[in-house]
Chain A
Amino acid sequence: MNDGPVSTFQFLGLTFSTANVVSGLVVFLLVVAIVFFTSRHLAMKPTKGQNFLEWLIEFTNGILKGSIPSNEVSGFGLYGFTLFLFLFLSNQLGLFIQLTFHNATIVRSPTSDPIVTLTFSLMTLMLAQFAGVQKLGYKKHFTNYLKPFVFWLPISIFEEFTNFLTLGLRIFGVIFSGEMLLKLIWGLATSHGIATMIVAVPIEMVWQGFSAFLGAIQAFVFVTLSSVYISQKLEVEE
């Protein structure tokens, strides 16, 4: 029950992982389906689906409002909402569906791969840079790196790099370890027949529930930190 060999394929000179592409598409379709089916009959008096969608939008907007000034939130609301939904479903996907085909994993949590999480981390930091330049202009944006004094520049640049790494690796670590432990417990369950099965299945269920909780927390933390990084670029440091 260990990780099978990573099945990859070449396309346009780039290497793709089958598991990531397939799971990514599954999450993509899930997000589209949720958004599509909850937004069908929009009315002034919201019904079930619309209530849920509006609650979710209020929730992610609330996360953003925690750090971004409220008059700027509207520009990042869509990003925060989509990011939260995508990461949340990605985190949960591997807990319930793990498909293996020809001894290689095809469907698992996309966020249990550091390349995927670092892609999202990079996207957030690029958005932060872009928003900073758009709001303050090139000059003010880049002189922020020289605050509080000129010699701070290496530390500022290093901070960008560590932000990129920690933002991506935090969510990866939690989801990856959660899935690995699930696999280990499952390996224990199937090692000695019925006897270990009885012991291990409740543990597996408990860990699954805990991982679902952790996945939600990590999606929340990722969006929160994204909004913090974006808000840092929106103001001139003193």
Chain B
Amino acid sequence: MLSHLVVGSALYFGDSLFYAICFLLLLWIVKVLAWKPVTKMMQDRADKISSDIDSAEKSRTEAAGLVEQRQTALNASRGEAQTIVQNAKTNGQQQRDQIMAQAQTDAQTLKANAQKDIAQEREDALAGARNDVADLSIEIASKIIQRELNADDQKALIDSYIEGLGKHHES
């Protein structure tokens, strides 16, 4: 069984040479066929993955920046809207107050004018009446002086005057 291990039988050292050459040839074939392209592909992939990770990191920070920007813009516009609404409210309030005050004063003025007119009117009427009474008294006095009168005459006279007064007033 171990005959080929026994020194003295023909040792086949040619096999050593054969295997060495075969192995060197195999190294070369493997290198050309697979080793070079596959390791190159693996290297490429490693490079691609690392660059992908870098770019992902970059876009992530970019996105975060954008979100922050948008948030601040949103906050700013919200504040702006609030001030606008506030302004509109105060403006409306002011305007209303103004209009109310205006109306108040207008009404006041109108009322004062009307009262003044009424007072004037009454004054005028009183003055007219006073003049009439004066004239009437003078006329009556002159009539009494002109002739003596009996009771009937007197009555007729007074009636005629009163009639005349009514006519006078009517006219």
Interface residues of A (CB under 8 A from B): 2-3, 5-6, 8, 11-12, 14-17, 20-21, 24-25, 28, 31-32, 35-36, 38-39, 42-44, 46, 50, 53-54, 57, 77-79, 81-83, 85-86, 110, 113-116, 118-120, 122-123, 180
Among residues of B, the one whose C-beta sits closest to the C-beta of A5 is B3
A11 CA / B29 CA spacing, docked (Å): 25
Binds A, one of B4-12, B82-90, B122-130, B157-165: B4-12
A sample of 21 inter-chain contacts (CB < 8 A) reads A2-B1, A12-B14, A15-B13, A20-B12, A21-B15, A32-B30, A35-B29, A39-B33, A42-B37, A42-B38, A44-B48, A46-B41, A50-B38, A57-B35, A57-B38, A78-B31, A82-B23, A82-B26, A115-B15, A119-B19, A123-B20
Q: Are B3 and A3 in contact (CB under 8 A)?
A: yes
Q: Are B12 and A57 in contact (CB under 8 A)?
A: no
Q: Which residues of B contact A46 (CB under 8 A)?
A: 41
Q: A5-B3, A54-B42 are in contact. Are A86 and B13 (CB under 8 A)?
A: no
What 0/1 pattern do residues 14 to 27 of B give for CB contact below 8 A with A? Answer: 11111110110111
Q: Are B10 and A8 in contact (CB under 8 A)?
A: yes
Q: Are B11 and A115 in contact (CB under 8 A)?
A: yes
A196 CA / B3 CA spacing, docked (Å): 29
Q: Are B45 and A44 in contact (CB under 8 A)?
A: yes
Is B141 an interface position by the 8 A CB rule? no
Among residues of B, the one whose C-beta sits closest to the C-beta of A35 is B34
Interface residue range, chain B = 35 or more
Is B68 an interface position by the 8 A CB rule? no
Say how far A236's CB is from chain B's closest CB, in angstroms: 28
Say how far B90's CB is from chain A's closest CB, in angstroms: 66
Q: Are B26 and A86 in contact (CB under 8 A)?
A: yes
Q: Are A15 and B12 in contact (CB under 8 A)?
A: yes
Say how far B46's CB is from chain A's closest CB, in angstroms: 11
A2 CA / B41 CA spacing, docked (Å): 49
A82 CA / B25 CA spacing, docked (Å): 11
Q: Are A119 and B15 in contact (CB under 8 A)?
A: yes
Q: Are B26 and A28 in contact (CB under 8 A)?
A: yes
Q: Which residues of B contact A116 (CB under 8 A)?
A: 15-16, 19
Given A35-B33, A122-B16, 14 further pairs, Cβ under 8 A: A3-B3, A5-B3, A6-B4, A28-B25, A28-B26, A32-B30, A36-B34, A57-B38, A57-B42, A81-B35, A82-B30, A116-B15, A119-B15, A120-B19
